[in-house]
């Protein structure tokens, strides 16, 4: 499949404003003292991170001018999405400010910017910019885990709590959640990736039984992480639902990917879906697919938290 068509299928989701007591069509979940739509628009495409290929990433960067980012956020609000998850860097801060200047009211859930020399300062800056939640960048969490320095991530959670926001931990590795749960860390939510993208090239080759070019999107990882989602009482924001476009070959494939997640998600869990509507309408289509997936789930997971 050519780059433009493949990347145009890369995720998509979609009553304007901040919700009160009325649920949007796609459902809302509590997030601290706020309520956010069960679908949260992801930030990777806006930042040019396709997790597919250099060509796809370049196509995203070219498409997402400031005007197109603002249009995406506006379309999401009109469709019922009121939350945006994205990197906590100067580029996103500028876009967020422009969104607010044009009347937008998206809640913002920010990822720490690992390239910053002073992460505590970065966290305080994001909180001052209005983030309702901040989470420790999953790739950096996993690097700490591999190096035996995971307690450094715990230190950052304390900075988040002191800043007055929901404190989150991102990871691609299910065992990280096992460790954090066992140690009783004070964490409000997890950002849970359905694929373990933190394996070394050697580890990926061993798992796949072959040499792997780039990141390994291995389907058994989905169930491994979804088990952790079910087991923890903490809220989870589940991402890479479509495997960065690899589960977007057809609408039925996308629907099945969403049904699998809906069957495991707890009532307060949300899903983060990146959007790249260059070649197709994605916001309302993904809202429809997600609503159907959650409606067809088991009785315990069918109810949207109120």
**Better pLDDT: 110 or 250:** 110
Query: Rounded mean pLDDT of 38-61?
Result: 95
> Cα 2–285–101 angle (5° rounding)?
95
pLDDT tens sequence across 151-185: 999 999 999 999 999 999 999 999 999 999 999 99
pTM over cut 0.85: yes
State the alpha helices, DSSP H only, in 147-298.
151-162, 174-183, 201-208, 220-231, 251-264, 283-295
Cα atoms found within 13 Å of the Cα of residue 127, Cβ hemisphere only: 18
The H-or-E segment that residue 129 falls in is none
pLDDT at residue 1 above 60?
no
pLDDT tens sequence across 228-286: 999 999 999 999 999 999 999 999 999 999 999 999 999 999 999 999 999 899 999 98
pLDDT tens sequence across 51-95: 999 999 999 999 999 999 999 999 999 999 999 999 999 999 999
Phi and psi, residue 218, nearest 5°:
-105, 120
If one looks up domain 3-302 in CATH, what number appears? 3.20.20.70
């Amino acid at each position: 499949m050519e780059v433009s068509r493949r990347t145009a299928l890369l995720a998509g989701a979609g009553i304007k404003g901040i919700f009160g007591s009325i649920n949007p069509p796609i459902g809302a979940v509590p997030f601290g003292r706020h309520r956010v739509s069960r679908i949260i628009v992801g930030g990777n495409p806006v930042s040019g991170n396709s997790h597919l290929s250099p060509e796809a990433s370049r196509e995203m960067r070219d498409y997402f001018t400031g005007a197109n980012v603002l249009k995406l956020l506006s379309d999401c609000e009109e469709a019922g999405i009121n939350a945006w998850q994205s990197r906590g860097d100067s580029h996103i801060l500028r876009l967020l400010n422009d969104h607010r200047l044009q009347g937008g009211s998206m809640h913002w859930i920010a990822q720490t910017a690992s390239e910053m020399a002073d992460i505590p300062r970065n966290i305080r800056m994001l909180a001052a910019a209005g983030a309702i939640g901040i989470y420790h960048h999953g790739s950096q969490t996993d690097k700490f885990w591999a190096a035996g320095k995971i307690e450094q991530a715990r230190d950052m959670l304390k900075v988040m709590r002191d800043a007055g926001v929901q404190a989150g931990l991102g990871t691609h590795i299910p065992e990280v959640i096992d460790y954090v749960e066992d140690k009783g860390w004070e964490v409000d939510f997890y950002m849970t990736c359905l694929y373990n993208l933190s394996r070394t090239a050697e580890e990926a080759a061993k798992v796949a039984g072959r040499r792997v070019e780039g990141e390994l999107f291995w389907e058994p990882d989905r169930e491994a992480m979804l088990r952790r989602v079910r087991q923890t009482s903490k809220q989870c924001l589940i991402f890479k639902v479509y495997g960065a476009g690899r589960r977007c070959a057809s609408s039925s494939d996308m629907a099945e990917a969403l049904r699998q997640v809906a069957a495991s998600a707890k009532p307060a869990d949300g899903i983060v879906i990146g959007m790249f509507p260059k070649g197709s309408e994605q916001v309302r289509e993904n809202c429809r697919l997600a609503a159907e997936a959650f409606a067809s789930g088991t009785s315990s997971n069918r109810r949207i938290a109120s």
